[in-house]
Structure 1
Amino acid sequence: MTDTLYSAYAEKIDAVLAALEAEAVLPAGTNRANVSVEPPRDPSHGDLATNAAMVLAKPAATNPRALAEKIVEHLQRDPAITSAEIAGPGFINLRLAPQSWTDEIAAIAELGDDYGKSDMGADTRVNVEYVSANPTGPMHMGHCRGAVVGDALASLLEHAGHEVIREYYVNDAGGQVDTLARSTHLRYREALGEDIGDIPEGFYPGEYLVPVGQAAAEEFGDRFQAAPEEEWLPLFRAFAVERMMEIIKSDLAMLGIRHDVFSSEAALQAAKKPEAAEMWMREHDLVYDGVLEQPKGKTLEDWEPVELPLFRSTRFGDDQDRPIKKSDGKWTYFGADLAYHMQKAENADALIDIWGADHAGTVKRIKAAVAAMSEGQGKPIPFDVKLVQMVQLLRDGEPAKMSKRSGNFVTIADMVDEVGKDVVRFTMLTRKPEAQMDFDFAKVVEASKDNPVFYVQYAHARICSILRKAADEGIAPSGEQLDLLGEDELTLVKQAAQFPREVEAAARAREPHRIAFYLYDLAAAFHAYWNLGNDDSKMRIIVAQDPALSAARLFLAVQIGQVIRNGLGILGVEAVEEL
């Protein structure tokens, strides 16, 4: 972790515990992994709190308060700690000298864009797969939230030191791609001048396929206009998927989203990866030939037992063993997904999938498959699935009606065109992904405290405005006399100083929305500090009669702006200078 205040005090606590080992108060080699240093829940209790005595009392064969007394005895020798008090059963609360906090302001200034970055994930490569929408139409609201959550999570993990692979799985091997090819062929005939009438039932009706059909006409001429389907279907399937992926990548770019890898399901199957996965699973006794249980509600008249290759998913916590092939010999979705996850695991130490909540039913089986791979390969493959709930679109509290170039859904392009990329991205991270969300087009652009996007961006814009005003008055930020700052300023520093640990905690939990929550709290703290000047002119950031104090307060404001920028950068949101 970057050497910031919390990590520095964690090292101090660790040094005290090492000294207690040397004094035989603690046994040699005591595991200190669960010792934490964090803000106390109640700020009135102090600046930092540690659970060291609570978690180490048992191996020390003593009670927590007795051990806490030994720890406090050492901590009180540190001049940077003004008090160390034992609370409750054995927690230790610390109060720090003001210089500890002014040193943190200087640390933010020195580290700049790197403040908050960590080496927690060093040497760990994480594959984050997100979006993975079927290539049958433009990106729509059903994909938006998962796309933003996945992209912000990838950025968060990079800030925490992980190497990240951003991956998109192109589902281009199923029946929906044949439907896409047939729909494209219909638009191709239309581009050649044929009257196609109404779009037949079961075809994709969206007008987004009109230019795709025109491009096919330019590419192939009229030689497939009246040709039998078997002559053009494979060709049109590949052509349509390629064009749709161009549209999807363009839509994602509007959200500032890019992927490192696009993996094709069709290519996976052409490379015989599912066959290789089945062979590997059989070698490790993870797949066997068996008959599924009779489905509930089915009778022998309408159900026929068929022997299928079954994956032993019950061994890994699933409700039943799962077929990897259908009775016609084709791969099930699960069989193909199993092979795909094996492919991803070849190049990553950990896997994360971002799925829509409608895929909740498949989580157990995929987790079982990855657990089986971990067991078979003799190494753990950490795997996490993040389920993202749908978003309800509203306008002034009523269901939103917008132009729908697809014919049946609201596109991401529509959203970004109306409210902008930053508003869409930040808003999608203002709730936990597993919670339902309303996206009200009126409220997300509202200039109020109730709108987190505005509130955080306004804090940064306000800082920029203050700096412009100071420049006009000939006052520059300076870190030379930070000792002039008082308790109100240090309270703000304490909030900013939590950013590095928030990054690590959010990365560990795989929850990028924590950064959005943190930024809102930091913005609120800054706005509250700024508002002090409305009631007391001496509390204004720029005090004309005191240039030294003004320079110190401006320096603090610059660093708060830096932390806001760093946090917004993780979320993929611009820190605006004017609103």
Structure 2
Amino acid sequence: MNLFTDLRGVVLAALDQMVRLGELPRGLDFANVAVEPPRDPAHGDMATNAAMVLAKPAGMKPREIADRLAARLTDPRIAAAEVAGPGFLNLRLSPAVWQGVVAAAIRAGADFGQSDIGAGQKVNVEFVSANPTGPMHVGHVRGAVFGDALANLLAFSGHDVTREYYINDGGAQVDVLARSAYERYREANGLEPEIREGLYPGDYLIPVGEALKQKYGDRLLDRPESDWLAEVRDFATQAMMEMIRGDLAALGVRMDVYSSEKALYGTGQIEAAIERLRSLDLIYRGVLEPPKGKLPEDWEEREQLLFRSTAHGDDVDRPIQKSDGAWTYFAPDIAYHWDKIDRGFDQLIDVFGADHGGYVKRMNAAVAALSNGRVPLDIKLIQLVKLFRNGEPFKMSKRAGTFVTLRDVVEEAGADVTRFIMLTRKNDAPLDFDFAKVLEQSRDNPVWYVQYASARVHSVLRRAGDSGIDVGDSVLAAADLTRLFHPAELELARKVAEWPRLVEHAARAHEPHRIAFFLYEIASDLHSLWNRGNDDLSLRFVQDGDPATSQAKIALVRAVGVVISSGLAILGVTPVKEMR
């Protein structure tokens, strides 16, 4: 139930009627006609821009269109249609509309706000995709939370979503991992490890070394690297992926698919992807221009195999093969994305760290070329997280040797708090994570403030039940909601009505942070109404001796609880029933 979509339908029907009556010319495009909350709530419940966007193509004054449109809006839900300024049209709805939203939210329960805008489209959300060289660090937390919440949001909006992790196990970093694990294997065998510069120093590799000893005994000692590198690399990579899966599980993230970069090599998939581009006349041998500004000391012009990415919006063409014949890191990524296209996905979303900004245009170009422009790719860049305690930069004990781990953050703050706070900023804005502030009990802490609202909803339901008032959902949905007439109550019901619209807008924009913002707003409205009941007894949710009025007011609270629970579920946060 999207009330704004419903009322937009009413506006469009009135515009069609105006065309039939000759009040508007034929052939107008109504695609940009919108019905939205007004910027100033004093102006009404909804507003439409119809007159403003149609005036120029219709060759009419906006005010003239607005006056005629207002006269045609005879739907019983619209109590008044008021023209303001040069042609803005503000709508005021009858109280019965907002009362009906309360009942609809309760009847729908967890499905309230769901939509079919996704129409079953297959969407692949690739996120995290950390190198399998150690435990996940704090820099991965935000991307993991964002990707998982975005997947939840898209699924809630009618998309068929696949969560995917791309294992970067085909590069030199996994060889470094193998050499580092081998030193811990030597340590497990009583030798002094040589953790030289360039190796991974974290003690998370000590158990890997011990496991290698259990499997191989001392057979790998004093053997040349060529004898053991491949086996140790596979063993250590598998151990790291088990650790990463555990890290993600601690954060409440579970992937549907794990894809391996290494699996692309030697299978012909990379070559096939490049041939696909070659068939489109997008592969050629050439020499790139030197980078702008100061030349690197090792710069030399050399002929390379290039992808003509400029044909699809990139700034420069990109090398896909090195002078020694080895593929660049871009080549397997092209093959991997072609594989996703070949698997039938209608839309691809990649969640990358902020340091991948220069990768966006080339990857978009590759996907556009490979899919003939059919499959859109949206790359979301995740800005850094800075850790603080009481406003001061904070560094934990670094078990990993070089970074703060995801487990450190989750164990300190909890998965629910971590997830919510990571979504309180847009993904491309930096985020400060202060361990003291995210755990304090105040309005300034958004996760506590929203969870407090959830606890209050359950408190009202418990108290009413203890008083003998039936608060079953079927009873509340059928309550006499005309008893909700105070402006503050109707305002809260209006907020409930905004939820389905907010979900659709957030899903279309791929912005799950909008959910967190909305939950804070509706929690604030609930707390405000609760506090007003301290002074105005008629606003208290449980009215002694008046079960019918109590049920109506409790129905409003229950509707708010439905929204909060659904919103927290999208964020991957468990709503609380009481504060401790």
Same fold (TM > 0.5) = yes
Q: CA deviation at 1:296?
A: 5.0
Give percent identity, aligned residues only. Answer: 56
Checking the alignment, whether the CA contact within 8 Å between 1:189 and 1:213 is kept in structure 2 is: yes
The 3 A distance-change label for structure 1 pair 296 and 566 is: closer
The secondary structure found in structure 2 opposite 1:306 is: coil
Checking the alignment, whether the CA contact within 8 Å between 2:10 and 2:75 is kept in structure 1 is: no
Q: CA deviation at 1:62?
A: 2.3
Checking the alignment, whether the CA contact within 8 Å between 2:103 and 2:555 is kept in structure 1 is: no
**Equivalence for 2:83:** 86
**Equivalence for 1:491:** 491
1:437 paired to 2:431: yes
For 1:8-64, what per-residue CA distance to the aligned partner results, in whole angstroms no more than 9, with x for missing partners?
212212222222233233445543221111111110000111112222234433222
**Equivalence for 2:542:** 542
**Equivalence for 2:178:** 181
1:149 paired residue among 137, 140, 146? 146
1:105 paired residue among 102, 105, 108? 102
1:36 paired residue among 27, 34, 46? 34
Query: Whole-Å Cα distance in 2 between the matches of residues 79 and 295 of structure 1?
Result: 66
**Equivalence for 2:563:** 563
Q: CA deviation at 1:563?
A: 0.5
**Equivalence for 1:409:** 403
Checking the alignment, whether the CA contact within 8 Å between 2:149 and 2:572 is kept in structure 1 is: yes
Q: Which moved more, 1:211-220 or 1:200-209?
A: 211-220
Q: CA deviation at 1:189?
A: 2.2
The secondary structure found in structure 1 opposite 2:123 is: strand
**Equivalence for 1:9:** 7
For 1:130-171, what per-residue CA distance to the aligned partner results, in whole angstroms no more than 9, with x for missing partners?
100000000110111011111111111111111111111110
Query: Whole-Å Cα distance in 1 between the matches of residues 10 and 288 of structure 2?
Result: 59
AA aligned to 1:270 is: G
The secondary structure found in structure 2 opposite 1:498 is: helix
Q: CA deviation at 1:504?
A: 0.6
TM-score scaled by structure 2? 0.95
Q: CA deviation at 1:304?
A: 3.3
Checking the alignment, whether the CA contact within 8 Å between 2:77 and 2:94 is kept in structure 1 is: yes
AA aligned to 2:571 is: L
Unpaired runs of 5+ in structure 1? none
AA aligned to 1:14 is: L
**Equivalence for 1:307:** 303
1:287 paired residue among 278, 283, 301? 283
Checking the alignment, whether the CA contact within 8 Å between 2:34 and 2:49 is kept in structure 1 is: yes
2:238 paired residue among 239, 242, 258? 242
Compute the RMSD of aligned alpha carbons.
1.7
Query: Whole-Å Cα distance in 2 between the matches of residues 78 and 238 of structure 1?
Result: 67
**Equivalence for 2:469:** 475
**Equivalence for 2:135:** 138
1:55 paired residue among 53, 56, 79? 53
The 3 A distance-change label for structure 1 pair 301 and 412 is: closer
- 1:136-535 to 2 correspondences below 5 Å: 136-191=133-188, 193-295=189-291, 302-347=298-343, 348-374=345-371, 377=372, 379-477=373-471, 478=476, 479-486=478-485, 487-535=487-535
The secondary structure found in structure 2 opposite 1:57 is: helix
Query: Whole-Å Cα distance in 2 between the matches of residues 300 and 545 of structure 1?
Result: 83
Query: Whole-Å Cα distance in 2 between the matches of residues 366 and 149 of structure 1?
Result: 20
Query: Whole-Å Cα distance in 1 between the matches of residues 71 and 24 of structure 2?
Result: 15
Checking the alignment, whether the CA contact within 8 Å between 2:287 and 2:304 is kept in structure 1 is: yes
Higher RCO (CA < 8 A, seq sep 6+): 2
Query: Whole-Å Cα distance in 2 between the matches of residues 409 and 180 of structure 1?
Result: 16
Q: CA deviation at 1:105?
A: 0.6
Checking the alignment, whether the CA contact within 8 Å between 1:4 and 1:107 is kept in structure 2 is: no
The secondary structure found in structure 2 opposite 1:324 is: strand
Q: CA deviation at 1:252?
A: 0.2
AA aligned to 1:216 is: L
The secondary structure found in structure 2 opposite 1:6 is: helix
Checking the alignment, whether the CA contact within 8 Å between 2:203 and 2:399 is kept in structure 1 is: yes
